[in-house]
């Protein structure tokens, strides 16, 4: 389903393998560079997968982990997690400002469910009461964003025990449902995310 927010199409993909969405990301980014298109925001729930960013130590890599060009280290994507991929030209040529905008977006989504969240100190995530709710990792090519922010909504968190997510103790991971004390669905999270996408794309916090 494709609609639009802030003149940028938004596509809700449902549950998809990471590799298929990764290919779509690269196609959208290529269209921005070649044709000046506004890009697209992809909202997806992934089949279970571990991905490793550029900062992942070689010793942490093993079979079944997908190395990609985003920043950061190993993380997990899976059912019950909403991943937001804003494949768009950066509103400003400032990577730090973009990371802050993604964090602000995650904080705003948490607020939709009555949760007081705070950004990390290094631009890599969003926390509620010291527990990590959202992880951020991007790759910037020709001032076009790839990858984005994954928001844990209602997950089986045991997969995080197989890794040190973003280099952290896996016990630090939580989700919106646990923090809110009630079940929250992916559809609810999508509604909340879409409400705050225009501010993200416009770089309103910069």
CB 13 within 8 A of CB 21: yes
Residue pointed to by tokens 């993604």: 102
CA–CA distance, 115 with 62 (Å, rounded to integer): 36
Name the active-site residue from 107, 166, 173, 184.
166
Kindly state the helix (H) or strand (E) to which residue 84 belongs, with its residue range. Answer: strand 81-87
Our measurement of the distance from residue 8's CA atom to the centroid of its chain's CA atoms, rounded to an integer in Å, reads: 17
The answer to whether the beta carbons of residues 85 and 42 sit under 8 Å apart is yes
166 is catalytic: yes
Judge whether 74 and 52 are in contact, CB under 8 Å. yes
Q: Which residues are bridge partners to 5 per DSSP?
A: 8
CA–CA distances in Å: residue 50 to residues 172, 183, 192: 17, 25, 26
Three-class DSSP category at 42: strand
Active-site annotation, residues: 166
């Amino acid at each position: 389903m494709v609609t639009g927010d802030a003149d940028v199409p938004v596509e809700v993909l449902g549950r998809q393998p990471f590799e298929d969405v990764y290919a779509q990301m690269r196609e959208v980014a290529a269209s921005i560079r070649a044709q000046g298109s506004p890009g697209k925001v992809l909202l997806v729930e992934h089949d279970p997968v571990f991905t490793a960013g550029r900062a992942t130590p070689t010793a942490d890599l093993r079979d079944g982990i997908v190395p990609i060009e985003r920043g950061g280290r190993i993380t997990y994507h899976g059912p019950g997690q909403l991943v937001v991929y804003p494949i768009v030209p950066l509103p400003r040529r400032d990577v730090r400002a973009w990371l802050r905008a993604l964090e602000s977006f995650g904080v705003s989504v948490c607020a939709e469910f009555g949760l007081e969240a705070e950004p990390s100190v290094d631009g890599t995530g969003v926390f509620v009461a010291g527990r990590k709710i959202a992880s951020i990792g991007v790759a910037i090519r020709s001032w076009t964003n790839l990858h984005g922010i994954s928001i844990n909504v209602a997950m089986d968190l045991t997969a995080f025990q197989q890794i040190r997510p973003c280099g952290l103790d896996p016990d630090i991971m939580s989700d919106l449902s646990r923090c809110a004390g009630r079940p929250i669905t992916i559809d609810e999270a999508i509604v909340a995310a879409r409400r705050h996408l225009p501010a993200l794309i416009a770089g309103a916090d910069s």
